[in-house]
Amino acid sequence: MSTSTNDHAEASAEAGPPALRIGRWRLRTGRRRLPGGRAAAVPSGRKVRRAFRRTLRRWGLGSAADELADHLTALVQDVLARSPMRGRGAIDLRLELRASARMLLGEIHPLPARPGARDPAGGGTGGRGIIVLTYGRRPGRGGAAIRYVHRFTWWRTDSIITD
């Protein structure tokens, strides 16, 4: 697994941590059996979780990093299992933290098995997986703070419109 994380700051007049942080990974996938016997191309959960956890901690999410890394890992594997990807290959994963909105955005882009390779089925199975996590704390009974995470995923098919 190759990883790279880049911290980019949006233009802001305020001093402090960057408003936007971006991480990018290229992950190899392998065939795995899912519940129900269906096979899918998914990356190793342990490696993905470790990379997410390390990055989220570096981005200052503290104790929330572990829970968010677990959610992200499950969502990446779920999106890939439902995607039209077939066989082995690699994916590009982009993760974006918008700390002011308490939101993590992720994009999953499948890579062709070799440069210039096309899908042999030909049926327009390209696309990308989209992941959104919102998180935070809200007051609970007795004044204790309760952490929450809302999860959204979908596969977006890239379509080309021709005249």
> Do residues 113 and 81 lie in contact, with contact meaning Cβ atoms separated by under 8 Å?
no
pLDDT at 74 (0 to 100): 83
Paired tokens of 56 = 């989220």
Tell the residue number behind the tokens 């969502």, with chain if given: 75
pLDDT at 57 (0 to 100): 93
Q: Looking at residue 11, what DSSP letter applies?
A: P
Q: What is the pTM of this model?
A: 0.63
Tell the residue number behind the tokens 């082995």, with chain if given: 88
Task: Tell me the pLDDT tens digit for each residue of 133-146.
Answer: 787 777 878 877 77
Could you give the angle at which helices 64-82 and 45-58 cross, rounded to 10 degrees? 140
Q: Which of 74, 84, 75 is nearest to 40 (CA)?
A: 84
Cα gap 35→107, rounded to integer Å: 24
158: Cα separation from own chain's centroid: 18
For the chain, residues with pLDDT lower than 70 are: 1-18, 30-44, 82-89, 112-127, 154-163
